[in-house]
């Protein structure tokens, strides 16, 4: 059992080291013409002053297309202030699909004939100045069809926030292979030709998750999906224990309701690690515990190097809060990860953005506002 444990822990450590070793050092960018960025916001959006400042500091130029449900005062004010750089499209309220998907579909229908590259971002990220240029680089060079970054959570102070951040960091620093990459809608790009070939409006119709719908369609079409490893994009994490656990469960519930096989494989891998930790702590003795902690500390040091390489200093400092769990109780991270995965499979209901959705095979089958009773049973 000791040798199997050494193998498992060594494999997990090598995976993180592999990620660090393959971080691009030169981080080349491209800045072609005809770039449009789609941003879905709620009608009560505050205008995201930090986000807008970061977007204006990008090294590559683009047009910003903001999608709202109804009237958003902050978005309208931004249009008036920015004089042509920003446009707004009003999608209305969805009745049979996710609100975000509904708004993005409206934005796709508002594309201009000369829009050649389509980018998607989330409103709650803190993007680096290289974000747009790095996403465009593989597309403009013809090396990929769909390009993606991934989130790096920046938890506020608190053990539960740091624990959820640690679980997410396990996923963020997994080795990235093009054949097994699923795009993340918070920082994703594709060419207009690919968008038209996939017919994104049709692909996303009736769906709740935009990135799962696009990623699965890309897999089926055998497109080239490419991760940009240095784009671990800062994404603040705040809230109480129930809210942050709900966030973690929601991420996996998107997976289990779209691709049960993908969820089953991920859960099996984590379950093996979780069971092995139980064995090590209860029956394994000092040698197995030392191996487990040694590998965990190695992963923590490597992840710290990754954070320092890809994030701004203040962002890296906040992200490092999650590393405490790897140092003090790495088994708790694995167990929490497994609990989130199992909880995700317990229901098809996803609570998101003020709505409850019931999802089957990726499609929204029922939905209602949280303050309303659902129709039917």
pLDDT tens sequence across 54-85: 999 999 999 999 999 999 999 999 999 998 89
Query: What is the predicted pLDDT for the residue at 179?
Result: 62
Q: How far is the C-alpha of 262 from the C-alpha of 274, rounded, in Å?
A: 18
Residue recorded with tokens 């060594």: 10
Identify the CA nearest to 130 among candidates 312, 304, 316.
312
> Hey, what domains does the chain have and what are their CATH numbers?
20-261+344-369 (3.90.550.10)
To the nearest whole number, what is the mean pLDDT of the chain?
Answer: 94
Who's near 159: CB < 8 A, 6+ residues apart?
A: none
User: Which ranges in the chain belong to alpha helices (H)?
Assistant: 2-21, 49-56, 73-82, 99-109, 131-140, 159-172, 192-198, 200-204, 210-220, 241-258, 260-279, 285-310, 313-319, 323-328, 330-344
User: Residue 375: which pLDDT band, with cuts at 50, 70 and 90?
Assistant: very low
Query: What is the predicted pLDDT for the residue at 377?
Result: 33
User: Residue 176: which pLDDT band, with cuts at 50, 70 and 90?
Assistant: confident
pLDDT tens sequence across 89-139: 999 999 999 999 999 999 999 999 999 999 999 999 999 999 999 999 999
Would you say 121 and 41 are in contact if contact means Cβ atoms under 8 Å apart?
Answer: no
pLDDT over 70, % of the chain = 98
Q: Which residue has the higher pLDDT, 341 or 3?
A: 341
Structure tokens at 273: 């690690």
pLDDT tens sequence across 111-125: 999 999 999 999 999
Residue recorded with tokens 């000092």: 286
């Amino acid at each position: 059992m000791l040798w199997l444990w050494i193998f498992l822990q060594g494999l997990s450590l090598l995976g993180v080291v592999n990620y660090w070793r393959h971080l691009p050092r030169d981080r080349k960018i491209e800045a072609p013409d005809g770039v449009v960025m789609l941003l879905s916001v709620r009608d009560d959006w505050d205008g995201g002053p930090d986000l807008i400042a970061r977007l204006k500091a990008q090294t590559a130029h683009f047009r910003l297309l903001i999608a709202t449900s109804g009237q958003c005062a902050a978005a309208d004010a931004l249009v008036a202030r920015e004089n042509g750089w920003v446009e707004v499209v009003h999608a209305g309220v969805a009745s049979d699909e996710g609100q975000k998907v509904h708004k993005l579909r409206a934005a796709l229908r508002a594309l201009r004939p000369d829009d050649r590259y389509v980018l998607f971002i989330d409103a709650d990220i803190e993007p680096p100045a290289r974000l747009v240029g790095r996403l465009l680089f593989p597309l403009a060079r013809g090396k990929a069809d769909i390009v993606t970054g991934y989130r790096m959570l920046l938890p506020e102070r608190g053990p539960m926030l740091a624990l959820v951040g640690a679980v997410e960091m396990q996923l963020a620093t997994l080795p990235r292979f093009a054949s097994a990459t699923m795009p993340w809608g918070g920082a994703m790009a594709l060419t207009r030709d690919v968008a038209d070939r996939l017919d994104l409006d049709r692909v996303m119709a009736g769906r709740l998750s935009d990135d799962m719908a696009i990623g699965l369609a890309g897999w089926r079409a055998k497109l080239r999906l490419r991760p940009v490893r240095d784009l671990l994009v800062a994404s603040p994490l705040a809230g109480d224990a129930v809210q942050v656990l709900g966030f973690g469960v929601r991420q996996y519930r998107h997976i289990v309701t779209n691709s049960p096989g993908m969820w089953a494989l991920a859960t099996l891998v984590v379950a093996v690690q979780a069971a092995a930790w139980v064995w090590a702590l209860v029956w394994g003795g000092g040698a197995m515990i030392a191996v487990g902690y040694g590998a965990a500390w190695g992963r923590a040091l490597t992840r710290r190097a990754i954070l320092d390489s890809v994030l701004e200093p203040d962002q890296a400092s906040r992200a490092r809060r999650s590393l405490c769990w790897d140092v003090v109780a790495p088994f708790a991270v694995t167990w929490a990860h497994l609990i989130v995965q199992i909880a995700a499979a317990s229901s098809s209901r996803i609570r998101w953005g003020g709505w409850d959705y019931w999802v089957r095979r990726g499609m929204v089958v029922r939905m209602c506002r949280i303050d309303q009773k659902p129709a039917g049973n």
